[in-house]
Structure 1
Amino acid sequence: MSDCRGKDSWPELKGKKGDAAARTIEWENRFVDAVIVLEGSIVTADFRCDRVRVWVDTYGIVTRVPQIG
Structure 2
Amino acid sequence: MSCSEKVATNKKTSWPEVVGLSVEKAKEIILTDKPDADIVVLPVGSPVTKDYRSERVRIFIDTVAEIPHTG
TM-score above 0.5: yes
Is 1:21 the counterpart of 2:32? The answer is no
Q: How many residues align?
A: 60
| Paired residues of 2:42 and 2:59 also in contact (CA < 8 A) | yes
TM-fit CA distance, 1:6: 2.7
Query: Percent of pairs identical after alignment?
Result: 35
Q: Summarize the alignment of residues 1-69 of structure 1 with structure 2, pairs less than 5 Å apart.
A: 2-3=7-8, 6-59=11-64
Where does structure 2 lack aligned partners over 5 or more consecutive residues?
1-5, 66-71
Where does structure 1 lack aligned partners over 5 or more consecutive residues?
61-69
**Larger RCO: Structure 1 or Structure 2 (Cα < 8 Å, ≥ 6 residues apart)?**
1
Residue in 2 that maps onto 1:66: none
| Paired residues of 1:19 and 1:36 also in contact (CA < 8 A) | no
Q: Please, what is the CA RMSD of the aligned residues? A: 2.1
| Paired residues of 1:22 and 1:36 also in contact (CA < 8 A) | no
Q: Which has the higher Rg, Structure 1 or Structure 2?
A: 2
Q: TM-score scaled to structure 1, two decimals?
A: 0.68
After TM superposition, which residue ranges in structure 1, 4 or more long, deviate above 6 angstroms? none
